[in-house]
Amino acid sequence: MNESTNGTVSRRDFTKAIGAAAAAVTAMAVPHVHAAENNTIQVALIGCGGRGSGAAAQALAVKAQPVKLVAMADVFERRLSSSYANLRKSRGARVDVPDDRKFIGFDAYKKAMDCLRPGDVAIFATPPAFRWVHFTYAIEKGLSVFMEKPVTVDGPTTRRMNALADEADKKNLKVGVGLMVRHCRGRRELFDRIKNGEIGQLIALRAYRMSGASAQAGPRPAGMNETLYQIQRFHAFLWASGGCYSDYYIHQIDECSWMKDAWPVSAHASGGRHFRGASVDQNFDNYSVEYTFPDGTKFFYYGRNMSGARGEFASYAHGTKGAAIISTNSHTPGRVRTFSGHNFTKDQMLWAFPQPEPDPYQMEWEDLIDAIRNDKPYNEVKRGAMASLVTSMGRMAAHTGRIITLDEMLNCQHEFAPNLDKLTLESPAPLVADANGKYPVPEPGVKTKTEY
């Protein structure tokens, strides 16, 4: 990725870098480390919440290659203990994590990865802000990685992750990103059908994730460390997760961009806080975002977190000859379909992917382990970084009240939480509350250069 003398990066260069990464076969390959007499792939779980525990369970369910969980790390002992008990119950002997390979603290990620051999897999399922920190150490150790989405939350971390992706390629490391919809077999066929003109040229896309109140945080309990409080409630804080917008909405933004076969280049948005009550989080209750693609066509995204209001969780594509359902209700099963018109009626249905469909959460692990086993080029980081950046672009447009371009988002200098690799319990929290225990919130039209 080319960088100019003033430190800015163009969207065109970033997009070209993603394409080059997808096609490249690196010359500097590390040798196979899993000899025939011991072909078990060892895994370390870093971040033992529900998302991390689920990823570990899917890794251990892969049939093509023996996989064993050998180390775990978190900053909360109770979370690690609960995850271990559940995984041990469901996966049995594939969970081999004695007490001396269970690590607690901000340096626990290093200790867990130190238990692995080069070529083994580290799972990153902590709040997204820590992705670059953990990825840096994994590359140093020569480890393959599965990291949950989003992989970045702002411009500086996106540029950093893009550079780290190049370093991973130099070592021929295999890296999966938890945008599991990309591994959905039904959506892959839908993409091919759209590309082949089944519903004509795409003229618009729209997606909805409208649910009850979420991503809130009550006042910090007396005596609780402020950093741990924010990590425990990471969806509530922009530095930790990008807020509900980045952490919840990225899947649909990614799948719609995929179907368009292009990334949006600007976002125009609105949103606001209405019913957050006593919550001290930084999120809005609703978001309405108009994304624009390079050819001028639009993608409309609607997010709402209000209990009692109408719910919907689906994505749609509209073409000159018909339409498609990209996701029906949640991420899986997608139950993708194409139609000769735009009313989504049974009499207009052209095609539907056969049911039951393979679970994309499992398929992303099958694909990653297959790449490790057969030494295939495999690095999803740059695509994951672009999906994260496009999502952040929509969020920033809503939070500032301005049209935000992809170039501006990529080159934004506001890093929400710098120096996370040096974070300790004694460090000031990345976001500090005022005297009343309140945190800064976005104010569109008032705070326009940064989101808070």
Say what the pLDDT of residue 34 is: 45
| pLDDT tens, position by position, 136-177 | 999 999 999 999 999 999 999 999 999 999 999 999 999 999
The answer to whether residue 299 sits within a structural domain is yes
State whether 238 and 121 are in the same domain: no
Indicate if 225 and 129 belong to the same structural domain: no
Question: What helix, strand, coil percent values describe the chain, rounded to 5?
Answer: 40, 20, 45
Report CA-CA distances (Å) from 321 to 198, 329, 338, 343, 380: 8, 24, 10, 12, 33
Do residues 248 and 273 both lie within one domain?
Answer: yes
Name the residue among 242, 205, 272, 233 with its Cα closest to residue 389.
Answer: 242
| Residue 272 and residue 144 share a domain | no
CA distance 314 to 133: 33
12 — pLDDT class (breaks 50, 70, 90): low
Residue at token pair 């295999």? 174
Residue 136 belongs to some domain of the structure: yes
Distances (CA, A) of 294 to 284, 291, 402, 403: 28, 10, 19, 15
Q: Is 434 among the domain residues?
A: no
The lowest-confidence range among 32-46, 129-143, 434-448 is 32-46
* pLDDT above 90 as % of the chain: 91
Count structural domains, the chain: 2
Query: What is the four-CA torsion angle of 77, 281, 178, 430, rounded to 10 degrees?
Result: -70
CATH of the domain at 156: 3.40.50.720
Note down the domain range covering 222: 184-358+391-411
Regarding whether 252 and 118 lie in a shared domain, the answer is no
- 100 found inside a domain: yes
Query: Treating both helix axes as pointing N-terminal to C-terminal, what angle do 185-195 and 243-260 enclose, rounded to 10 degrees?
Result: 50
Residue 22 has pLDDT above 80, yes or no: no
What b-and-e string marks burial along 274-284, b requiring 16 or more CB atoms within 10 Å of the CB? Answer: eebeebbbbbb
**Among the residues of 201-242, which ranges form H helices?**
226-232, 238-241
Same domain, 202 and 334: yes
Residue 103 lies in a domain: yes
Whether 64 is covered by a domain: the verdict is yes
148 and 282 belong to one structural domain? no
Is residue 441 assigned to a domain?
no
Give the model's confidence band at 10: pLDDT under 50 very low, under 70 low, under 90 confident, else very high. Answer: low
Residue with tokens 């060892």: 42
In a domain, residue 429? The reply is no
Omega prior to 150 cis, within 30 of 0: yes
Q: Do residue 195 and residue 238 come from a single domain?
A: yes
Query: What's the pLDDT tens digit per position in 193-237?
Result: 999 999 999 999 999 999 999 999 999 999 999 999 999 999 999
Question: Can you tell me the mean pLDDT for 26-42?
Answer: 53
CB atoms within 10 A of CB 201: 11
Residues 327 and 212 in one domain: yes
- Please report the pLDDT score of residue 27 as a whole number: 34
231 shares its domain with 200 = yes
Residue 20 confidence (pLDDT): 56
Q: Give counts: helices (H), strands (E), the chain.
A: 13, 15
- Report the sign of the C-alpha dihedral through residues 96, 70, 125, 278, in that order: positive
* pLDDT score recorded for residue 417: 98
Q: What is the CATH number of the domain that holds 304?
A: 3.30.360.10
CA-to-CA distance for 217 and 417, rounded, in angstroms?
Answer: 19
pLDDT at 82: 98
Is there a single domain that holds both residue 100 and residue 163?
yes
> Mean of the pLDDT values across residues 14-35?
46
pLDDT beyond 80 at 11: no
Contacts of residues 76-79 at CB distance under 8 Å and 24 or more positions apart, as own/partner, are 76/48, 76/104, 76/228, 76/232, 77/104, 79/48, 79/49
Does one domain contain both 103 and 220? no
